[in-house]
Structure 1
Amino acid sequence: MTTQPRIALIGECMIELQHRADGSLHQSFGGDTLNAAVYLRRELGDLGSVDYVTALGDDSFSDAMCAQWQAEGLGLGRVQRLPGRLPGLYCIQTDANGERKFLYWRNEAAVRDCFTTAAAEPILAALPGYDVVYFSGITLAVLGVVGRERLLQTLVETRRRGGKVVFDNNYRPRLWADVATAREAYRRVLAEVDIALLTEDDERGLFGYEDSEQVFAAYPSIAEVVLKRGADACLIRCAGERFAVPALKVETVVDTTAAGDSFSAAYLASRLKGGSPAEAALAGHRLASRVIQVPGALIPR
């Protein structure tokens, strides 16, 4: 990897509403790959560039998103602004244990046309030139059939040129027409992945794997597999070795939103800076443990 890696994260950011205990709503922005992009930018510091790849509308919320991303140091050169369109919206409701429920309004979100517009052509042509291309299962779902095909072509070309492909599985059943469609899409892209950041519960929900052994056995060709298991130790297979890295204990969990995204970001940042997989996992646990003690997806800098 270069000493100043160029990283592109592909996905969707939405308007986030946090439902407070007093019935009020706090508005911010969030989305799995956007959360990862922000935390990756913070963790990397000046040791690389992070661009976000998405499509937004031409509305005031989209303006505010771009302003926030710019303030976080993200590159906006791959963000499309589609006239008359809007971003998606979601509401987070959390229970007494910090577990969350999401309500979504995203069917008409601009990101669904991210890879189908004329403006997408130069973006798609540029992506294989990045050192790292990062996306998630949610990216797969919201891009649609045509977008997924174009993404797959991009991943193949990225690896052909020597770039690395990083995938966070984030499986959300409601975003897919059926489980068979989701399985096919996942299997096709997983064949082009170098680092797989997998949540065990999502693997169980999508493929029916019963334990970590089945998950690892399913991906013999992926060089680096990280299995996230919430408060339990994460499991890693890399360079022929298997090992566990315990999570950090947190006394009070406020909100688990973006726990996995922040782990993935800190893990990748550490690896890009030369850290071992074990060191990277510890960095991931460290950041995630801070994130879950604060409401919302993005904690203050």
Structure 2
Amino acid sequence: MNTRKSPRIALIGECMIELQQRADGSLQQSFGGDTLNTAVYLSRELGERATVDYVTALGDDSFSDAMCQSWASENIGLGMVQRLPGRLPGLYCIQTDAAGERRFLYWRNEAAVRSCFTTPAAAPILAALPDYDALYFSGITLAVLGEQGREKLLQTLIEARQRGAQIVFDNNYRPRLWPSLEEARAAYRSVLPYVDLALLTVDDEQALFHFADSDAVFAAYEQIGTPEVVLKRGAEACLIRCAGESSEVPAQRVERVVDTTAAGDSFSAGYLASRLLGGSPVAAAQAGHALASRVIQFPGALIPR
């Protein structure tokens, strides 16, 4: 991965109102979303050594106000955030079982982010994105943007890559967000040829493309031509293929898992932060594992600083 002094990174996606259900049935309210989680942890990891901006659309309500205040407190830039009158952010609830595994309930069909790249105000944002050093998005980003938004994103990725930007993609496939498996596959296949770093979860790859195993995943991405591929496998070692070399990096053992929410998002942040600062793929995976191992010992997506 090309590294630059004080890189500028833009993460594109959705942040939602998060409700965390406690054992007594009460709800604790915060904010979360896959790319936003990664943005927060990336900003914490990089500090003043980089600029981290978030690209999304919110409403003009008090929850959206609070989100922006929260992001600003994490040193995340707000210049690429649209505020759409009369709209609202999405909402989700996390229910966690005794083993720390979670179930999500979503209310997001009318979320403001679905208009993120189709409003008149989106034009200058789309024009500015190719000048960043790295653009980060996910499969959830693809789903919530809709067909028109995805086409705008694709053209932006192509132009950004032509200007030397690194394109980073986390597969995060969520079947409920897609009208059909075929539409999801088509959307993923449209952007994958322009991805420089693919951060993949094996289960999601198998659910989306029905790959038999990790070798099949690597073979498919080698055919696409993706320069760097990381397979995240939860508590198992992650697998890496970069510049023709393969690596396996063990995860860090955690005695008590409280909540696995944002485990993959934080791993991606730790990995990307290390790579942007010049770390090797193995060192980056170690950084990703270290961060994820801390995150899963706390409830909710974003742990205290």
SS in 2 for 1:38: helix
Task: Trace 1:283-294 onto structure 2 (pairs within 5 A).
Answer: 283-294=287-298
What is the Cα deviation at residue 17 of structure 1?
0.1
Query: What residue is the counterpart of 2:245 in the other structure?
Result: 241
Paired residues for 1:139-154 under 5 Å: 139-154=141-156
Deviations 1:248-282 (A, max 9, x none): 11111100000000000000000011100000000
Out of 52, 68, 71, the position equivalent to 2:70 is: 68
What residue is the counterpart of 1:119 in the other structure? 121
Q: Displacement of 1:239 after TM fit?
A: 1.1
- Measured against aligned partners, the alpha-carbon deviations of 1:56-110 in whole angstroms (never above 9, x if no partner) come to 0000000000000000000000000000000000000000000000000000000
Pairing 1:263–2:267 present: yes
Which of 16, 19, 33 in structure 1 is aligned with 2:18? Answer: 16
Q: Structure 1: where are the runs of 5+ without partners?
A: none
Q: How many residues align?
A: 301
Q: Which of the residues 159, 162, 180 maps onto 1:160?
A: 162
CA distance in 2, matches of 1:239, 1:177: 36
* Percent identity (aligned): 76
Report the equivalent of 2:43. Answer: 41
- Matched residue, 1:254: 258
Name the aligned partner's letter for residue 300 of structure 1.
P
Matches within 5 A, 1:64-213: 64-213=66-215
For the residues of structure 2 that align with 1:57 and 1:32, how far apart are their CA atoms?
19
Q: Which residue of 2 aligns with 1:280?
A: 284
Cα drift, residue 145 of structure 1: 0.2
Q: In structure 1, which of residues 2, 5, 8 is the aligned counterpart of residue 7 of structure 2?
A: 5
List alignment gaps of at least 5 residues for structure 2.
none
Instruction: Kindly state the Cα deviation for residue 46 of structure 1 after the two structures are TM-superposed.
Output: 1.0
Q: Give the secondary structure class of the aligned counterpart of 1:118.
A: coil
Q: Deviations over 1:7-35 (max 9, x none)?
A: 00000000000000001000000000000
Q: Normalising by the residue count of structure 1, what TM-score does the alignment of the two structures yield?
A: 1.00
Alignment of 1:59 with 2:68, yes or no, is no
CA distance in 2, matches of 1:26, 1:93: 11
Residue identity matched to 2:240: I
